[in-house]
C-alpha cells in the first residue's frame, strides 16, 4: 500500500485521468481506470492469486472502492486478452452492475462469457478486431494486434482531446509466431508518429535481458521427447495456452499418438478454442479420457492442467496416486510451462512424487519446453524506440519490474521525470502532452474466501498467520467474580500447540492462584479476569516453551 | 516417509550396515549411520529448514529413534564440513550423550564448537586433515580434500573388513578454486583402484547439466559492480561462504572501500575464518558498523546476512527500513548467493522493498554474482568414471536428484541393480562387494519449535495448516443437560474467520434450537451435545460462507 495518500483535485475538463486499481507492485489483478469528463473506461479486470502469507484466500480482487459509487459512469470495460489476471474479476464487477458493456476480441469474449456463465451472468458484449476503431462514450479506441501466450490479444490506443494513450496489455514480440499474428509494430509506429502522450507497457519481463525465445522452438523439443517416450506421455500446461497445446497436438500426430484433454478448464478452453478456429485439431486425434485409459501406453498423450503444482489439479493428483491416470515406471511427464515464483515447492513436490513413481519428468529446468509470453528488455527497447512516448507509466509488474521498464524508457530518451513508477491507486492526469501525478488513492486487497468477498480482512490474515506459526490456547472459566474462585474449568483447548494435553497440567494451579489474587486485589469484572488469565498463560508458555501461541481467555460469571 | 516398512535382519559379523537418518528425499538434515560388529559411526548430523507447510517450525532434526537406545555404541561423529545441514543437529545429539567424539577439519570443528558453546556444551573433538588415516573403533577412516562453498571440506573413505565405502559429503570440482584446494581426484582414483564397494555421492546438482562455473569468475563481476557504484554498497551472502566474502574484500580493496561485517553469524564466522587463516583480511580494511555508518557513502561496503530473505536478518530489515543501515536512492545491493527453492517470495519481497527505496539490486537473475557449491552432472560423470564404484547410494537430494545421480552412475557402467535410490531409513548391507537393501526403518520428522524438541507433531502441523487456511470458531456453552437449555452462552470466539462478530448472529438461534431438540431426543452427555454444536455450526458456515474453519465446541454442565 502506498505510504503517502493524497486526494487528486477535481478533474478539469479537457484533462484525462488515469488510475490503476491493480497490477502495479504485483503480477496480477490488472485493472486501470481512464476518466474523461465524467465518464469512466475500464481496461482489464483481473484477479491476483494469493501468496503463502495470505493463507486460505482463494482470489484477490482489485479494490473497486474508488469507482464503487460511480458505477453508472462506467461506459465499458476493454479486455485486452483472456487470462485470469485480466478477466478474472469481471464477474465481481458485473455483480455490482450487470449491464456494463464488455469489449474484446472473439476469443477473449468467449472465455469471459464461459466464466460469467458459471456465475449465472449473461453480459453485454461488443466484439472488436485488430485495426478496428470504436468508441465508448468520449473515448475513441483503436485496437492493435499483439502477440502473447494466448491468441487474439489486443493492445488498445485511447484517444480523447487530452491526448493519445497506448495501453499494451500483455504482449511479447515473437517474430515468427505459430499463428502468424505478430505484434503490429507498424501500428505502434503509426501511433508513435501521431504522438503517444502516455504509454502503459507490460513490464513483467523488463528485468530479463535480451529477447524471449520463439514459441515455435518449443515444438521440436516436445516432438523429440515424445518420440523417445516408450510408454505414456503426460503434458501439463496452462489451460489457455492454445499455441502450446497446438504444438503438443502436432507432436502427437507426428508420433502416431492420440490426445486426451484432462482437467475441467483444459477441456472447456480447448473446446472453445477449437470451435472458434484458434486450435487446429487434426481429424480423429482427440479421444476422451476413458478411451485413452484403455489404449496402449505408447499411443496416447494426456494433455492436462496442474503445471503450477496446484494441489487439486490433475498433475498433483497423479503424483499422489489419486487420479484415474496411474503414472508408473517409464512414463514421461512434461511440464511445458513457466514456474511462477512462489510455486517452486509445490511444483518440485509434484516432480519428486512423479519421479518416485518411476516417471521421467521433463521441465524447463532440464529442457527447452517453455518460453515466456512477455516481452524481455530487448523487445521493450524496440517498442520504446518505435513509439517514442512522451510519458511512460509501466504497469503489470512488481516494483523491480516497473523500475526496470522505466529505466529502459529513460535509456531510449524518455525524460526521467516523465517515467512514472507508481503503485496501485496512483492518479496521473494528462493534458497538453504532460502527465503529472496528482493523487494517491488508498487501495487495499479484497479477498475472496469461499463465497465471501471482502469479509476476510488483513487483520484476519494476520490472525491466521499467528495461528499457523504458533497455534492457539483457549481457556474457559466460569468464576465467582467476588472471590475469584473457579466454579467450572479451567477448560483448556489447544490446537497446533502440542500433541499431549497434559502439558497444561503445570499452568492450571497458576491460573487458580492468579484469579484468587486478582479478586483479593479488587478485580471484579470479566475483562480484568481475562487479562489475568492471558498474562498467566502467556508468561508460562513463554518461559516453559519459548513460544507465543494465540491465547484466548473466556471468563464468565458462574 | 517410506511406504513399505520392514525390519532388517540381525546384522551378521563381517557385514557393514549403512542407514541414512536424513538427507534422502530432501536437501538438508544429512546424517548417515554406519554399523559394524556392534559399533556405530555417524557421518554428519545436520538440520533441515522448514517449508511453508510446516509453519512455525524453527528447525527439523534427523530422527534419532533408530539409534536412541544405542547411544553408547556410537564411536564417533565425522563432520564433513561446517554447513548447518551437516552440523546443525550436533547439539541435539550431544544433549543425549555429551561425550560422543566429533571428528572433522579445523574450520569445521571451530564452527561446531562455536555453535555448541551457545548450547553450553564443550565437546570432545579430534581434528583431522586431508590424506590422514585415523580410526574410530572398527572403522578405518581416510580423509580426502574436497572443494565446496565453505573451506576445509572433507570426503571420508570408510574401511572395514566388509569393504571400502566412499562418502563425499558436499562437494564440487572447481578446477581453479580460490584457495587452490581442489577435490583430490588422485585420491579418488587411488581409492577407485583399491576398489570402492559403495559410493555415496552428493546428488544436489545431479540434474543440472554441464559443469558448475568457477568461483573465481564471480570476483570480477563483484569488482565491476562495486567500481560503478557511486554510493553505498551492500553485499549479502551466506555467513559461512568464506571465499565469496574473500572476493568481496578483494573487490573492496581494489575500489578503495572499507568493509563492515553486519549480522551476528557473519561477524562470528568471519572472525573464526580470519583467526584460523582461512580468510585473508588486508590490513585496516575492516571497520565496525558504527564507524562504517559515519564514513562517506562511496568508501564503504557492508557485508551482510539475509540473502535468502529471512525476515529477521539484516537485509530484510534494511528493506523494511528497520535497520541502522538506511538504504536510499543510488545505493547498490548485491545478493551474491543462491536462491534456495521455496525462498523466492521472501527474496523478491526484499528486492522489491530495496528497489522502492531507490537501490540498484544486483542478483543472480541479472548478473553472474553466484555459483553453486555442488557438482553438476558433468562433474559427477568424472567422479563415477574415476572411482568406478561397485554400488552407489546417492545421498543429499530430493527424489529427482537421487534419481538423476543414479542415472548418471548407470550411464558410466554401474549395474542398474547396484544403483540404489532410497529414502531416509533405508538399510543397506554391504558384504563381498554386494550392497543389498535389507530393511526400511520408519523415519519421521522431529520438529524444534521454541525450546521444545519433538513436542510438535505432524498432527499439530496439520491443525496449524487448517487454522491458517480457515481460522477457527470456538463455541462455549454451559447447559442444563436434562433440558438442553443454555444457561450461559453461546460464547462464540473466532479468529481468522471474519472481522465482524455480528456474522454469528444468524447461527445463535440455530444452536439454541438444536440443543433443545437434542435433549428431547434423549441426549444427556457432554460429548453428544458438543457433536450437535459442531454439526450445527459446521452446516451453517458451509452453507452461508462456503468455508470450513476448525470448529471447537465446549459444552459443560451448568
- Dump the DSSP string for B385-445: HHH--SEE--BSB-HHHHHHHHHHHHHTT--GGGB----TTEEEEEETTEEEEEEE-----
CB contact under 8 A, B345 and A348: no
In chain A, residues with a C-beta closer than 8 Å to the C-beta of B456 are 497-499
Cα separation, B12 vs B341, whole angstroms = 42
Which residues, 6 or more positions from A412, have their beta carbon under 8 angstroms from its beta carbon? A381, A384, A385, A388
Per the annotation, does B337 bind a ligand?
no
pLDDT of residue A287: 97
> Of B348, B461, B478, which is closest to A488 when you measure between CB atoms?
B478
Is pLDDT of B355 > 60? yes
Give the residue on B whose Cα is nearest the Cα of A545. B451
Cα separation, B409 vs B417, whole angstroms = 11
Residue whose entry in the numeric block shows the C-alpha cell 521525470: A417
Residue A335, helix vs strand vs coil: strand
CB B489 within 8 A of CB B474: no
In a domain, A266, yes or no: yes
Whether chain A has a CB inside 8 Å of the CB on B464: the answer is: yes
In chain A, residues with a C-beta closer than 8 Å to the C-beta of B53 are 345
Higher pLDDT: B80 or A526? It is B80
Residues A254 and A157 in one domain: no
In a domain, A10, yes or no: no
The tens digit of pLDDT for each residue in B309-332 reads: 988 899 999 999 999 999 999 999
Residue B323 falls in the annotated catalytic set: no
Residues B63 and B149 in one domain: yes
DSSP annotation of A160 reads E
In a domain, B367, yes or no: no
Is pLDDT of A312 > 90? no
In a domain, B1, yes or no: no
Residues B384 and B318 in one domain: no
DSSP annotation of B162 reads T
Where helices occur in A424-525 by DSSP H, the ranges are 458-470, 508-520
| CATH code of the domain containing B273 | 3.40.50.10710
Mutation target to probe the A interface, by most A beta carbons within 10 A, among B26, B51, B358, B399 is B399
CB contact under 8 A, A465 and B468: yes
Least confident of A143-152, A419-428, B174-183, B478-487: B478-487
**DSSP codes joined into one string, B238-286:** -TT-HHHHHHHHHHHHHTT-EEEEESHHHHHHHHHHHHTTSS---TT-B
Cα separation, B386 vs B186, whole angstroms = 9
Least confident of A161-175, A403-417, A490-504, B204-218: A490-504
**What is the pTM assigned to this prediction?**
0.89
3-state secondary structure A388-400: CCCEECCECECHH
Number of residues that this document lists for chain B? 558
pLDDT of residue A498: 81
Residue A283 forms beta bridges with which residues?
A: none
The range of the structural domain enclosing residue A496 comes to: 471-557
pLDDT of residue A3: 63
Residue B13, helix vs strand vs coil: coil
The domain boundary, picked from B362, B397, B414, lies at: B362
Whether chain B has a CB inside 8 Å of the CB on A321: the answer is: no
In chain B, residues with a C-beta closer than 8 Å to the C-beta of A461 are 496
pLDDT of residue B557: 82
Q: Which three cell numbers stand for residue A8?
A: 487528486
In chain A, residues with a C-beta closer than 8 Å to the C-beta of B341 are 344-345, 348
pLDDT of residue A319: 95
Which of these, B93, B89, B127, lies nearest to B109 by C-alpha position? B127
In a domain, A178, yes or no: yes
Is pLDDT of A342 > 80? no
Is pLDDT of A225 > 80? yes
Residues B353 and B381 in one domain: no
CB contact under 8 A, B457 and A366: no
**Cis ω for the linkage preceding B13 (within 30 of 0):** no
| CATH code of the domain containing A40 | 3.60.15.10
Residues B112 and B202 in one domain: yes
Residues A152 and A114 in one domain: yes
Backbone phi and psi for residue A362, each to the nearest 5 degrees, phi listed first: -105, 130
A-B Cβ pairs (cutoff 8 Å, strict): 194
What mean pLDDT comes out for the span B453-466? Answer: 91
pLDDT of residue A15: 98
What mean pLDDT comes out for the span B121-128? Answer: 97
pLDDT of residue A145: 98
Per the annotation, does A237 bind a ligand?
no
The domain boundary, picked from A342, A362, A382, lies at: A362
What mean pLDDT comes out for the span B5-28? Answer: 96
Which of these, A405, A414, A420, A418, lies nearest to A204 by C-alpha position? A405
pLDDT of residue B256: 97
Largest separation between any pair of C-alpha atoms in chain B: 88
In a domain, A5, yes or no: no
Cα separation, B262 vs B305, whole angstroms = 7
Give the residue on B whose Cα is nearest the Cα of A551. B495
Least confident of A513-517, B47-51, B339-343: B339-343
pLDDT band of residue A1 (cuts 50, 70, 90) is: very low
pLDDT band of residue B2 (cuts 50, 70, 90) is: low
Give the residue on B whose Cα is nearest the Cα of A552. B493
Per the annotation, does A374 bind a ligand?
yes
| CATH code of the domain containing B517 | 3.10.20.580
Residue B401 falls in the annotated catalytic set: no
pLDDT of residue A65: 96
> Of B52, B491, B546, which is closest to A554 when you measure between CB atoms?
B491
Higher pLDDT: A488 or A185? It is A185
CB contact under 8 A, B498 and A455: yes
Is pLDDT of B275 > 80? yes
Whether chain B has a CB inside 8 Å of the CB on A366: the answer is: yes
CB contact under 8 A, B449 and A495: no
- Single out the catalytic residue among B44, B63, B197, B202: B202
> What is the domain count for chain A?
3
CB contact under 8 A, B471 and A464: yes
In chain B, residues with a C-beta closer than 8 Å to the C-beta of A452 are 498, 545-547
Mutation target to probe the A interface, by most A beta carbons within 10 A, among B204, B472, B529 is B472
Cα separation, A238 vs A166, whole angstroms = 28
Count the Cβ atoms, other than its own, within 10 Å of residue A208. Answer: 20
Is pLDDT of B294 > 50? yes
**DSSP codes joined into one string, A28-72:** S--EEEEEETTEEEEE----B---TTSTT--EEE---HHHHTTGG
Residues B158 and B69 in one domain: yes
The tens digit of pLDDT for each residue in B34-60 reads: 999 999 999 999 999 998 888 889 999
Least confident of A126-140, A182-196, B306-320: B306-320
Give the residue on A whose Cα is nearest the Cα of B25. A352
- Please, is A284 exposed, middle or buried when counting C-beta atoms within 10 Å of its C-beta (0-12, 13-18, 19+)? exposed
ipTM: 0.85
CB contact under 8 A, B498 and A403: no
What mean pLDDT comes out for the span A278-292? Answer: 96
The domain boundary, picked from B451, B466, B494, lies at: B451
In a domain, A190, yes or no: yes
In chain A, residues with a C-beta closer than 8 Å to the C-beta of B497 are 456, 460
The tens digit of pLDDT for each residue in B491-519 reads: 899 999 887 778 899 899 999 999 999 99
DSSP annotation of B214 reads P
What mean pLDDT comes out for the span A71-90? Answer: 98
Mutation target to probe the A interface, by most A beta carbons within 10 A, among B365, B400, B545, B551 is B400
Residues A274 and A349 in one domain: yes
Question: What does DSSP say about strands B391-392 and B300-304: parallel, antiparallel, or unpaired?
Answer: unpaired
CB A85 within 8 A of CB A157: no
Per the annotation, does A81 bind a ligand?
yes
Residues A551 and A440 in one domain: no
Per the annotation, does A474 bind a ligand?
no
CB contact under 8 A, B552 and A469: no
Per the annotation, does B58 bind a ligand?
yes
> Of B341, B465, B470, which is closest to A345 when you measure between CB atoms?
B341
CB contact under 8 A, B496 and A470: no
Residues A238 and A135 in one domain: no
Higher pLDDT: A1 or B410? It is B410
In a domain, B219, yes or no: yes
Residues A90 and A153 in one domain: yes
Whether chain B has a CB inside 8 Å of the CB on A198: the answer is: no
Residues B176 and B254 in one domain: no
Q: For B367, what's the count of Cα atoms within 13 Å in the CB-facing half-sphere? A: 20
Which of these, B55, B94, B39, lies nearest to B461 by C-alpha position? B55
Amino acid at each position: 500500500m502506498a505510504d503517502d495518500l493524497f486526494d487528486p483535485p477535481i478533474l478539469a475538463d479537457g484533462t484525462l485521468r488515469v488510475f490503476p486499481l491493480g497490477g502495479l507492485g504485483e503480477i496480477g489483478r490488472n485493472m486501470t481506470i481512464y476518466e474523461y469528463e465524467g465518464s469512466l473506461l475500464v481496461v482489464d479486470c483481473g484477479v491476483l492469486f494469493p501468496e503463502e502469507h495470505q493463507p486460505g484466500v482463494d482470489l484477490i480482487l482489485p479494490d473497486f472502492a474508488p469507482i464503487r459509487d460511480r458505477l453508472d459512469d462506467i461506459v465499458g470495460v476493454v479486455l485486452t486478452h483472456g487470462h485470469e489476471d485480466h478477466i478474472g474479476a469481471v464477474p465481481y464487477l458485473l455483480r455490482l452492475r450487470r449491464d456494463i458493456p464488455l469489449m474484446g476480441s472473439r476469443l477473449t469474449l468467449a472465455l469471459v462469457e464461459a466464466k460469467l456463465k458459471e456465475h449465472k451472468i449473461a453480459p453485454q458484449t461488443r466484439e472488436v478486431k485488430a485495426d478496428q476503431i470504436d468508441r465508448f462514450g468520449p473515448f475513441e479506441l483503436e485496437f492493435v494486434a499483439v502477440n502473447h501466450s494466448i491468441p487474439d490479444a489486443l493492445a488498445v490506443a485511447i484517444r480523447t482531446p487530452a491526448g493519445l494513450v497506448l495501453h499494451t496489455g500483455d504482449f511479447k514480440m515473437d517474430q515468427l509466431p505459430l499463428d502468424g499474428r505478430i505484434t503490429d509494430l507498424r501500428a505502434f509506429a503509426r501511433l508513435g508518429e501521431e504522438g503517444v502522450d502516455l504509454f502503459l507497457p507490460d513490464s513483467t519481463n523488463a528485468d530479463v535481458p535480451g529477447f524471449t525465445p520463439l514459441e515455435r522452438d518449443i515444438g521440436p523439443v516436445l516432438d523429440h521427447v515424445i518420440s523417445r517416450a516408450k510408454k505414456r506421455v503426460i503434458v501439463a500446461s496452462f489451460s489457455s495456452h492454445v499455441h502450446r497445446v497446438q504444438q503438443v497436438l502436432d507432436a502427437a500426430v507426428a508420433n502416431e499418438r492420440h490426445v486426451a484433454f484432462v482437467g475441467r478448464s483444459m477441456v472447456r478452453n480447448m473446446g472453445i478454442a477449437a470451435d472458434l478456429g484458434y486450435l487446429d485439431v487434426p481429424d480423429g486425434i482427440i479421444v476422451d479420457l476413458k478411451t485413452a485409459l484403455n489404449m496402449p501406453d505408447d499411443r496416447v498423450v494426456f494433455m492436462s492442467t496442474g503445471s503450477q503444482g496446484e494441489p487439486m489439479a490433475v498433475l498433483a493428483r497423479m503424483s499422489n496416486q489419486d487420479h484415474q491416470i496411474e503414472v508408473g515406471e517409464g512414463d514421461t511427464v512434461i511440464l511445458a510451462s513457466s514456474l511462477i515464483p512462489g510455486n517452486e515447492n509445490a511444483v518440485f513436490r509434484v516432480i519428486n512424487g512423479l519421479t518416485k513413481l518411476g516417471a521421467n519428468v521433463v521441465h524447463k529446468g532440464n529442457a527447452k519446453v517453455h518460453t515466456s509470453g512477455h516481452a524481455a528488455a530487448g523487445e521493450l527497447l524496440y517498442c520504446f524506440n518505435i513509439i517514442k512516448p512522451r510519458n511512460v507509466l509501466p504497469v503489470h509488474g512488481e516494483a523491480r519490474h516497473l523500475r526496470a521498464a522505466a529505466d529502459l524508457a529513460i535509456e531510449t530518451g524518455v525524460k526521467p521525470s516523465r517515467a512514472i513508477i507508481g503503485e496501485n491507486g496512483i492518479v496521473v492526469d494528462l493534458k497538453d502532452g504532460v502527465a503529472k501525478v496528482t493523487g494517491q488513492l488508498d487501495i487495499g486487497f479484497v479477498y475472496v474466501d469461499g463465497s465471501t468477498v471482502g469479509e476476510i480482512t488483513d487483520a484476519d490474515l494476520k490472525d491466521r498467520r499467528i495461528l499457523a506459526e504458533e497455534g492457539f490456547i483457549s481457556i474457559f472459566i466460569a468464576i465467582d467474580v467476588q472471590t475469584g474462585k473457579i466454579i467450572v474449568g479451567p477448560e483448556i483447548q489447544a490446537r497446533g500447540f502440542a500433541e499431549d494435553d497434559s502439558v497444561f497440567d503445570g499452568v492450571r494451579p497458576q491460573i487458580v492462584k492468579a484469579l484468587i489474587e486478582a479478586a483479593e486485589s479488587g478485580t471484579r469484572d470479566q475483562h480484568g479476569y481475562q487479562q489475568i488469565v492471558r498474562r498467566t498463560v502467556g508468561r508460562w508458555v513463554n518461559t516453559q516453551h519459548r513460544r507465543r501461541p494465540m491465547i484466548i481467555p473466556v471468563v464468565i460469571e458462574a
